[in-house]
Structure 1
């Protein structure tokens, strides 16, 4: 038994001596007889996307001996070296890599100290944006816009925050022919452009930040926009609401100033008619009426005439109550008068049967400057027929 015990101790001793010898061989071969010394690694690394570039940032917390940061990508085929000068404090390191291909890349970051010792590698993945991304950027859309006098009011559709959109940069020309630039925030739903040059166009583009860490702002392409323009004051006089009375009539029945009215419309006696001032109405209304003591209106017309330049237009007539009987049109015609009621379908530029209690819209196009007549007309028997209009507007369309 003693012989076995001593043999076991001897074998264990030989095994331990053999292991020590192997460790010494490893140190001699790989460590020059000493232990590995690592430089302090970069900490809290972040990737900041950019336009054809990327910024990598991090903190140097310990190891005052660090003198260099190396960044590798494309499987170490490409690299960048950044000299480091440490301070006694925690240092922030920022390295910008320019002229980078668009896409997602993995970066390896390694620090070196003044003795040539390297740190443990730190890897991070980041994205570089470029032309492909920019080609997909779309402008915020405009719900509607209207130019009235020297201001434009724009109503915007919702701009989704998840797209990284920040808002819009908008440029327009003012009445002094000076270019004005404003920023429309993403959360703004309505914008008023003041001192706007009547009938001019504006440009706008949308700004995007694809990532909260991004170092570059991206822009959609500039888009030129023309909004519809309220040209009513330029052409229509006494357009309502609250139509002015001419010299004739002071009671319910009056005659609208600046509107041409036919004799059968002025059928309330004393050559008066065409304007209803009934106290039950919200405001005075252009009117053609037959019945309740008023004679028939065989070919009634209430209109104005003027010359318009070539372009696209929209006539909007806000109607009040109207009877179901008779023929009642809103009409636009070339020339200086409206066609007779029976010739409207053949001779009018555009026309429609009036719809009561609504905005009636007629769109038309002039290929060259032309005199036009526009307004109301009717053919009514004297058995309770009427048509009323509270407001008339003329818009020039983009």
Structure 2
């Protein structure tokens, strides 16, 4: 009985080997299956409507080409390979890709048409959608410095923003144009532009990488930005301490050009608009006074000067002391004259002195010019409510 079992087992094993031989003969008529070595260290890198595939050939010397497939294998590119005795690098650009996540399949081939097992990788592809979302890095402040340079303080950038650099175009104080590239620092970043031409601005763009290994850099459009500067000396004269044209030998006088003083402000026996105020030991002042010692009231009294300003944003600023009872205005108006108080709404801009008496203050307002034009800057007041007086020690014009 035991011998019968042994014989049966041997017959079964023989039958199985016969079937295996038949399978081998059917499917391996041309010999064993050969797989070329696959590409090693494969990576895909993002680009602008393209991607780059990189990898290494480290072993199989028989590889003659490789193919990259994408778009569900509907598209492919073939790259010939010439192997050396060492490690060879594979690198190919896949162009004309749509924006979004793209998957790639890489296979190698030998001269006999044998194909390697696949290697898969993926990368985000960027394009117009990403580009449209980019904005210039923010500027927290840009201002002239005492040494004649311009200091730009950049807004902080997030670590995932992809900000690479900023390119700045500007003109120096000799008229020479500069084109400067500064590498981005995420926080507390400042840039100094030496010998900057006061009253001008910068034009700048920002460069971005969508991720750290991207092969393409994206750029914003150039954008203009004003550099805050004291342009008083460029456009105004006799700005304090104030010079006089005439003087009574004591306290009162009239302001020297280019200031123009309305006749009703000259209410101290032919003098007015200027006072020496010698007890302050600070030079001459621009003033209006009424009521004291029977001095005549002032209605729509004006002290102003006219200049031509280029397009831009401006701040008119004055240092004042007031004992006024009625409103006192500082004004910017288009043209060669200030309006009356009733026409203030048509001015380019205006501000007012503090309403309390015995107050020193710095008063300012902003105005904008869309184009170069003639502008009149100055002071406007009606003073009819009793003894009143105010003085100004200096004026400033700041281009912002």
TM-score range, shorter chain: 0.7 to 0.9
Comparing 29-38 with 48-57, greater Cα deviation is found at 29-38
Deviations 1:274-309 (A, max 9, x none): 35566598x986444679x88757329573422436
For residues 79-228 of structure 1, the aligned pairs below 5 Å read 79-143=76-140, 145=142, 154-172=152-170, 179-187=177-185, 189-194=189-194, 203-224=203-224
Query: What number of residue pairs does the alignment pair up?
Result: 386
- Give the structure 2 partner of residue 236 of structure 1: 236
Q: Indicate which of 348, 361, 364 corresponds to 2:365.
A: 361
Shift of 1:19: 3.0
5+ long unaligned stretches in structure 1:
none
Deviations 1:83-105 (A, max 9, x none): 22223332222111223333322
Q: Is the 8 A contact 1:236 1:304 kept in 2?
A: no
Give TM-score scaled by structure 2 length.
0.75
Q: Is the 8 A contact 1:47 1:213 kept in 2?
A: no
- Give the structure 1 partner of residue 66 of structure 2: 69
- Give the structure 2 partner of residue 379 of structure 1: 383
1-side partners of 2:83 and 2:250: how far apart?
94
Q: Is the 8 A contact 2:318 2:362 kept in 1?
A: yes
Deviations 1:150-181 (A, max 9, x none): 86654443343423221322334556766532
**Structure 1 vs Structure 2 CA RMSD:** 4.4
Distance 1:236 1:307, change over 3 A: closer
2-side partners of 1:154 and 1:122: how far apart?
49
Q: Is the 8 A contact 2:327 2:353 kept in 1?
A: no
Q: Is the 8 A contact 1:319 1:354 kept in 2?
A: no
- Give the structure 2 partner of residue 53 of structure 1: 50
Shift of 1:344: 2.1
- Residues 1:394 and 2:392 aligned together: no
Comparing 49-58 with 165-174, greater Cα deviation is found at 165-174
2-side partners of 1:42 and 1:367: how far apart?
63
Distance 1:17 1:393, change over 3 A: farther
Deviations 1:60-109 (A, max 9, x none): 22223322222112222222222222233322221112233333221111
5+ long unaligned stretches in structure 2:
355-359
Q: Is the 8 A contact 1:336 1:373 kept in 2?
A: no
Shift of 1:56: 0.5
Give TM-score scaled by structure 1 length.
0.76
Q: Is the 8 A contact 2:198 2:231 kept in 1?
A: no
